[in-house]
Structure 1
Amino acid sequence: MSHSFIDRRVAAGLTRHISTTSGRTVPVLAPFTGDVLHDLPVSQSSDVTDAYARARHAQLAWARAGFRARRRVLLRAHDLLLARRELLLDAVQSETGKTRGQAFEEVFQAASVTRYNALSARSVLRGERRRSGIPLVITTRVRYRPKGVAGIITPWNFPLSLAAMDVIPALAAGCGVVQKADNQGALSILALRQAFIDAGVPRDLWAVVTGDGNFIGGAVTEHADYVCFTGSTATGIRVAQKAAETLTGASLELGGKNALLVLDDVDARHAAADAVYACFSSLGQLCVSTERMYVHRAVAGPFVREFVAATSRLTLGTGFDYSADVGSLTSQAQLDRVTAHVTDAVSRGATVLAGGRARPDIGPYFFEPTILTGVTSEMECFAAETFGPVVAVSIVHTEQEAIEAANDSDYGLNASVFSGSGRRGLRVAAALQAGSVNVNEGYRGSFSAVDAPMGGMKRSGVGRRNGAEGLRRFVDAVTISRATGLLQMPRTGSEFEALAGPLLLLARLLKGLRRR
């Protein structure tokens, strides 16, 4: 079977389920060619309001259906994702310009997230007994109640993975979803959603709206019972402010300026090959990819030579197969930003060791994976997120210097440590200020660990997705206590006087028994 750009008829079939009454469409371009891929219907604020109303109605029955019924549906969806993988791969490549291999990572991640949440939701959210203040006299339980309908805003760069990591735990927890999809990733999201609809998720339960976030983003946040946002720090702050107006909870995964530390005990060739993927997967358009590298001077010579050589060997391509190592930037805006960062750095004295050029001979938005040295604080790419295939390599003299340089950032999303000693790598990892840290891997260890929380520190965000923490975002904890009648709780002064002594004795006894 041959694979290529999503057919316009397939696109039309998917986009007919967008919540829209505006009658307007916008062209979506194919990054590989710059041609119009399809015309996307766009929503307006009233469509968002209507989508929430329908989702709320559907959510009531979905929540009452229970964990077992939801698990069956989600596991069927898991199987459909795998069965429809080629369509999903075609959609991701068509919209984002990724290689086939990096699109496959998305499909695999979406399936993993679905399987985890389907199988874990009951054990994480079924509720539990808690120790009461006065044992036997009071019993206490915690129950978890679905929040309602979540508003989820996702970007274009990882449409399947980032949608799945927020939408699927919301569904597993018994919530509905109104998702604002970036125009450039809408087809991939709609193909993902269709698998869940066909598996048994009510169509109204998971609504998709599209359009300019400046016009409909506020409505998505305003009506939500919980908000998830993935994107830039600047926009995330605005989303948080909007959510705060209604005291709505939010999780925000925002920007990063991720550091990779290369210690003096690495195998230079092996570490360089892993570092290349850490920096240039999806052409750097990944919130957890590496943009800063600190290399110990003892291995700097051989490591940098191997790193430059491995980067220069990367194959750029537009194939809908596994022939290319890296693909395209996704838009003209991305190309402009990357070009501006490299031009600014070079004009201020940075040196290009590899790449540094746009490649219009391959496609309109292609840019070579680029290694810079001599990057200083007055350069734009020193502290600001490039979100493209540019890494700044700096030489450090000690392990502590590398740790301090890595932590000297407003961001704290992801970091990496390469070391010949696993124990040493873990020790250094514990000193880094980031929500996730990978040892001898760039980002895929933590990114793929769907049983573990993922999120940022500092200006890289608040809240966590994945794991039990990711599920519990979408529920309210409700404490229910009951008086057993074994002993009447004091109500009057004389009753307090009579029970004060026994209660003090109980407090001392519980401490002696180490009972919380």
Structure 2
Amino acid sequence: MASPTAPAQGERTLSDARIARLTSHIVSGGAATATVVAPFTGEPLATVPLSDAVDVRRAYERAREAQRTWAALPVRERVKPFLRLTDALVARRAELLDVLQLETGKARRHATEEFLDVALCSLYYARRAGRLLRPRRRQGMVPGLTRVQELRHPKGVVGLVSPWNYPITLGPGDILPALMAGNAVVHKPDTQTCLSSLWVRDLLVDLGLPPELWQVVVGDPSEIGDPLVEGADYVAFTGSTRAGRAIAAKVAPRLVGYSLELGGKNPMIVMADADVERTARGAVRACFTNAGQLCISIERLYVHEDVYDRFVPRFVELVEGMRLGTGLDFDADMGSLTHARQLEGVTRHVEQAVEKGATVLAGGKARPDVGPLFYAPTVLADVTADMDLCAEETFGPVVAVYRYRDLDEAVERANASPYGLNASVWTRDAAAGRRVAARLQAGTVNVNDGYGAAYASHDAPMGGMKQSGVGRRHGSEGMLRFTEVKTVASQHLMDLEPPGGLGYEKFADLMAGGVKIMKWLRIK
């Protein structure tokens, strides 16, 4: 099946007809709707039908019926639509970038990161699904006489909840491996940013995916959260630590598996030998990508005293030179916040910190002159433990800088957090940086990069320690978490009990001697 061709330049933005087609994929039988507002302007962007509890149960029924047929297909057949998806995303990336910008308010360069992530992640799993899911021989109890196979079966129907900040990276990016593993999915994207997930689903159905396999429900968690979790054979969630705890408690009585990627208060350590210019530019990306609305962005910056007085002024200079904008082009360095509640939270954190003695080195204020939800990229010094901004996740374009003298001190302060999602180390000595990285309590640590080097390495697992989550996406774990593993062992020639009239004592002696022989021969 050929990939769709790219739309003409003038047809890129969302039309009413295009919105109607996308939102028709939402499972909704009622009249209730929600209005999606464009963050750049505050104007209505789309009207979205809402689902209720009955719709969620109906979505599970459809998904469960379709999943049986899907799971019976060979893996090589299941991956075909996903192999086509990469070319299709490349061909239509301008349209996808428009949708992402219009519903999230992010800069186009940051929307591009999402496009690249989903295109490459889909290709990674499509190429490797057969190898990851095939039966595997395992060593049996008695070599040559016990044959053991490890089999992988799909969970069934996955309930997946994705957030608003990276709607296709954290929605379709997880759904694709779940589908390739033989599951169906009932997906609840955030209402504000559901259009981009619907866009990817619409494209994938055009490329051959049976539409019943990916059911989309949209609504308030208070309305559809319980039936969404209750109907799932496995739950995948990305969002706040508070909501993650609630989901874990909800699924616990059923002993259903789950993965949770939650909050972070991510540190960056600038070592004494760091290249100041390279590090300052890297810190801008690390702190202000997607206006800081990135779970793995840097919010705490620890700078060695030997370079502090050179690094901080250069960093502040770069931050003050950042361009904010609303254009569907690559001119802006940073876009808008997505929700009014994010603007309120960022404003509250900064104002409280300043009231308690923090120093504003850059930014520190909203930018309504650019758009209703813009906030200037902000750098603060003199942040202390009595300020909410010190330990709580801000999730906006704000970073606190701290001076340190001893590397052990910096590592201790970096680890002094209930979170452990991502971290960053900057040094001219990459080997030394990796040694520091090994000491940091975070699921991913980047040396001489803020977040992308680890996250975009799809062959490696990504997730959080401590209160930053449970489980991993990416790598083999990113697909195998959506499977049940089964061991099948067949015994040949001899039984695992005394043969003939041999007593158990003699049999035990014989087996103990066998253990020594197997160790000596390195069979075990």
When normalised by structure 1's length, the TM-score is 0.98
2:119 is matched with which residue: 111, 126, 138?
111
2:89 is matched with which residue: 68, 77, 81?
81
Q: CA shift at 1:88, angstroms?
A: 1.0
* TM-aligned CA distance change 1:496 to 1:444, over 3 Å: same
What does the per-residue CA deviation read over 1:59-91, in whole Å, with 9 as the maximum and x for residues that have no partner?
111111111001212101222222221121111
1:28-427 paired onto structure 2 within 5 Å: 28-427=36-435
Is 1:77–1:198's contact at 8 Å kept on the other side of the alignment? Answer: no
Is 1:137–1:487's contact at 8 Å kept on the other side of the alignment? Answer: no
Q: Which amino acid aligns with 2:81?
A: V
Distance in 1, Cα, partners of 2:131 & 2:16: 43
Distance in 1, Cα, partners of 2:426 & 2:480: 33
What does the per-residue CA deviation read over 1:332-366, in whole Å, with 9 as the maximum and x for residues that have no partner?
11100000001000000000000011111110000
State the SS of the aligned residue for 2:21: helix
5+ residue gaps, structure 1, are none
Distance in 1, Cα, partners of 2:13 & 2:220: 24
Q: Which amino acid aligns with 1:430?
A: A
Is 2:162–2:171's contact at 8 Å kept on the other side of the alignment? Answer: yes
Q: CA shift at 1:485, angstroms?
A: 2.8
Distance in 2, Cα, partners of 1:351 & 1:5: 42
Q: CA shift at 1:471, angstroms?
A: 0.9
**Residue 447 in structure 1 maps to residue 445 in structure 2:** no
Q: CA shift at 1:310, angstroms?
A: 0.5
State the SS of the aligned residue for 1:56: helix
Distance in 2, Cα, partners of 1:176 & 1:61: 10
1:430-441 paired onto structure 2 within 5 Å: 430-441=438-449
State the SS of the aligned residue for 1:160: coil
Distance in 1, Cα, partners of 2:192 & 2:12: 17
Distance in 1, Cα, partners of 2:498 & 2:234: 40
Q: CA shift at 1:194, angstroms?
A: 1.1
In the alignment, which residue of structure 2 is the partner of 1:460?
468
Distance in 2, Cα, partners of 1:296 & 1:422: 17
Is 2:364–2:376's contact at 8 Å kept on the other side of the alignment? Answer: yes
Q: Which amino acid aligns with 2:517?
A: L
Distance in 1, Cα, partners of 2:436 & 2:122: 33
What does the per-residue CA deviation read over 1:269-325, in whole Å, with 9 as the maximum and x for residues that have no partner?
111011001000000000000000000000001100110000011000000011101
Distance in 1, Cα, partners of 2:358 & 2:14: 41
What does the per-residue CA deviation read over 1:101-145, in whole Å, with 9 as the maximum and x for residues that have no partner?
110110110011100111111111112111111122221111011
Q: CA RMSD in A?
A: 1.3
Distance in 2, Cα, partners of 1:398 & 1:512: 49
Q: Which amino acid aligns with 2:74?
A: G
Q: CA shift at 1:491, angstroms?
A: 8.0
The aligned length equals: 516
What does the per-residue CA deviation read over 1:462-516, in whole Å, with 9 as the maximum and x for residues that have no partner?
1001110111101111000112235574389855345333322211111112233
* TM-aligned CA distance change 1:493 to 1:344, over 3 Å: farther
Q: Which amino acid aligns with 1:330?
A: T
5+ residue gaps, structure 2, are 1-8
When normalised by structure 2's length, the TM-score is 0.96
Q: Which amino acid aligns with 1:387?
A: F
Distance in 2, Cα, partners of 1:380 & 1:28: 30
- Among all aligned residue pairs of Structure 1 and Structure 2, give the percentage whose two residues are the same amino acid: 47
Q: Which amino acid aligns with 1:513?
A: L
